[in-house]
Amino acid sequence: MAAISPRLAALTAAAMALPGVHVRAADAPGENPWAVDATHLEYSESGHRMSVRVNQASANVPLGENIQLKGNFIQDLMSGASPIFNAPGPGGKTQQVLTGASVFDNRKAGDIGISASFGDGQATLRQGWSKENDYKSRWNSIEGRWDLNQKSTTLAAGVAFSDDGVSSHDAPDDFQTRLKRDLFVGVTQVLNERSLVAVSLAHSYTNGFLSDPYKLVFVQSGGLLPDARPGHRQQTAVTAKYITYIPAIDSALHLTGSLSSDSWGIHSGALELQWKKELPAEWLVNAGGRYYTQSSADFYAPLYLSQPGDLHSSDYRVAGFGSIGWLAGVTKQVTPNFSVQIAAERTYRRSALRSGGVGIDADNYIWGLYLVTLQARF
Amino acid sequence: MRMSRRHSLACSAVLALFALAGCATVQPWERGTLAKPAMAIEDPVHETTQKLRTYSAKEGGAAATGVGGGGCGCN
């Protein structure tokens, strides 16, 4: 039997950990069980709308050979203006009415989890919370993963439950309940020596107060009404990811597609293509694009000529629209234990790219995000 | 909720993939390419968390990307 080079041995050892893919918190225990990640992110929107500064830190700590403790903390500092409703503008063209640049909030969120490995399986239990002036959330999840067929196949499943409270600046202590249950199943399959595919199915059921307390609708025949949406919502989504290595360009292509449908009448699709290439001196670069499209909710209208029914919303997020964006990043492995990642994404929202229903050009805008992450592994 | 034809097809594809699981085996020593950093099936976890939260706050659709994560009153 021919001797195996150290590099091939290292790659084989890493490959044995594959796929290990579906559930974020269920990372396979590897040679570096201690992990610390820290991220700073800047998000901004065109037209002096919302901007957000995010700080995130997380750590994985081994508790024995088969158990890992995971902790994660996020702080968001939000400020800027947000659309409230639409109204007729000059020449009868619909225009947005925004809040002043006075919106400010400080969100803090965190979660803690524990993962246990047993044979080819792994289970992760997590509990999290989130709190800001007018929104609070507590959630629990349990996720499992099972490797089959010499790790050529990974099955994954998870359930989660969240109990949220929604209030507004006008009545900050009057929290209304929003409950969400999530179910997720997925399978990842190694197809051949340089390709793999992952397909996932998710379903959620949400009930309670699902309207936005800050949104209004304009009624031409007189006055403004508060946003009013159904008291329950079911969403189903399918996501497929195909990754292949192309020797001719010494690069990997990542193609991800999603379809979703919900009981509000919103049907959406997304397609993302990324190119990733390793360069000498432990650099990894990636670039790509993302296309997204959705139809409007059944109860959406930009504005209402006469008194609407019980359900009505002019929120730009339940309108029909599409978007196209680019994303790019670079990662440098500085030492075997330390890496730095910089990533950016910029997205152009356009009502003309909607897949159905109603949308207006006044809702068009651009958002961008930029992040820096430091990763340490021991 | 009535499921659209395309979603029925997508769900069928998921079930078919489950059924196919186990049909193909690539031996561990044949997985050198799959182990390359450029082939990692997941992006760094913080990048994924932040991008999914942005999409969730700005879009009405959903994606099947896992469970867990607190809501927010994102505007």
Task: Name the residue facing A37 among B28, B46, B58 (closest C-beta).
Answer: B46
pLDDT in tens, A72-106: 999 999 999 999 999 999 888 999 999 876 678 89
Distance from CA of A305 to the nearest CA of B (A): 24
Query: In 10 A of CB A30, how many CB atoms?
Result: 12
More confident residue, A129 or A9: A129
A233-243: average pLDDT = 97
pLDDT in tens, A194-228: 999 999 999 999 999 999 999 999 999 889 999 99
Distance from CA of B8 to the nearest CA of A (A): 10
Cβ neighbors of A143 (< 8 A, separation 6 or more) are A23, A25, A26, A123, A124, A126, A156, A157, A158, A184, B66, B67, B68
Q: Do residue A159 and residue B39 have CB atoms under 8 angstroms apart?
A: no
A21-36: average pLDDT = 56
Q: Do residue A373 and residue B46 have CB atoms under 8 angstroms apart?
A: yes
For domain A6-377, the CATH architecture is Beta Barrel (2.40)
CB contact A272 to B (< 8 Å): no
* Chain B residue with minimum CA distance to A327: B51
Query: In 10 A of CB A37, how many CB atoms?
Result: 21
Is A289 a residue whose pLDDT tops 60? yes
pTM (predicted TM-score): 0.89
Domain boundaries, chain A: 6-377
Kindly give the residue spans of alpha helices, DSSP state H, lying in B1-75.
Answer: 5-20, 45-58
Is A23 a residue whose pLDDT tops 80? no
Is A279 a residue whose pLDDT tops 70? yes
Residue-level length of chain B = 75
φ/ψ of B13, rounded to 5, equals -65, -40
Chain B residues whose CB is inside 8 A of the A78 CB are 74-75
Test the A interface: residue of B3, B20, B46, B74 with most A CBs within 10 Å: B46
More confident residue, A111 or B8: A111
Q: Do residue B70 and residue A43 have CB atoms under 8 angstroms apart?
A: no
More confident residue, A5 or A59: A59
pLDDT in tens, B4-46: 555 565 556 555 555 555 456 788 889 999 999 999 999 999 9
Rounded distance between C-alpha atoms, residue A267 and residue B14, angstroms: 19
* Chain B residue with minimum CA distance to A284: B38
In this predicted structure, which of A29-33, A194-198, A286-290 has the lowest mean pLDDT?
A29-33
Residues 15-44 of B with CB under 8 A from A: 17-18, 20-22, 24-39, 41-42, 44
Q: Is A14 helix (H, G, I), strand (E, B) or coil?
A: helix
Closest C-alpha to A81, from A52, A102, A56, A111 = A102
A vs B: CB pairs below 8 A: 284
More confident residue, A22 or A362: A362
